[in-house]
Amino acid sequence: MNIPLLQTFRAVLQEGSALRAAERLGCTQSNVTARIRQLEESLGVDVFDRHGKRLVLNEAGRRLVPFSDQILRLVEEAQHAVCQTPVARTLRLGSMESTAATRLPGVFALLKREHADLAVSVQVGAEPALLDALVEGRLDAALTARTKPRAGLTYEPVFAEELVLVSAYDITRKTLFAGGRVRLLSFHEGCPYRAIAENWLRSQGLEIEETTSFGTFGAILSCAAAGMGLAVLPKTLCAEHVRRKELRAHAFDDLKRVTTYLVTSDDSGMPEVDVLRTVLRRRTSAARPGVEASIA
């Protein structure tokens, strides 16, 4: 096992395929697959399962990820120390779209002001895809609500989001549940907000006659404003639309707050993640009491 083999392993993880890894490394796809085979031979175990031409990280590969990251990071730091040049740092962060829209701008402003040398790339997605990317080493951390904890990951509470039921502005509390049936507007299957909405509506004795899924919160808000259905979303996400009287936000005592977590691998020790954690602590400690929960 040597450095070029680990660099190839990391490239395949980050790019998602041997072909894109080859383009990044400036070699042929056959060279990439040959290096992966060489790495596996040196370890005495396969780190990818083969499905046709696809390479899918297996359990042994997942165990290798944190060690590979640490070794390559130390090599890069050693090279920069010897040459006396600053280390280029990058944080690969995953986020739910709602968090990216309402919470990350303030976080990034602090990072830019106090850690200008830290570059941040963001992957927006739903909880299952973000956690898969985290486990497979394609992300360093993720900000997401959760449906249920996943083994091997650490969850640190960051924000407590107040949820509201969103409707078109002309729909009042009295007409909200007329007929006992509702049409739900939500993110795709696997989104924690969707699961909460479905469970809460059914607990009210309501029938969900139709669920329409969207990939963006903008589409959900626009369809709700057009009267196509109801949505359960963080209050911060729809505040501007409510102010403009395009939407009405209905608060319910039993529609509870939802925690957004900073999720990392159990064995993550990246200094870039520590920087993010510190900034998040500062953001939450400066927030109004009762709106955001402090990170543990």
* Contact between 144 and 96 (Cβ < 8 Å): yes
**pLDDT for the residue 285:** 63
User: Which of 257, 285, 280, 287 has its CA nearest to residue 141?
Assistant: 280
**pLDDT for the residue 87:** 54
Three-state SS at 98: helix
pLDDT in tens, 158-187: 999 999 999 999 999 889 998 899 999 998
* Contact between 79 and 3 (Cβ < 8 Å): no
Strand partners, 167: 248
d(CA 149, CA 157): 13
What is the DSSP code string of 102-159? Answer: HTHHHHHHHHHHH-TTEEEEEEE--HHHHHHHHHTTS-SEEEE--SS--TTEEEEEEE
Confidence of residue 86 (pLDDT cuts 50, 70, 90): low
Evaluate if pTM is beyond 0.95: no
pLDDT in tens, 33-79: 999 999 999 999 999 998 887 888 899 988 888 888 888 888 877 87
What count of other Cβ atoms lies within 10 Å of the Cβ of residue 116? 8
Average confidence (pLDDT) over 221-247 = 93
Q: Residue for token digits 């919160």?
A: 217
Exposure letters 266-278 (e unless 16+ CB within 10 A, then b): eebebebbebbbe
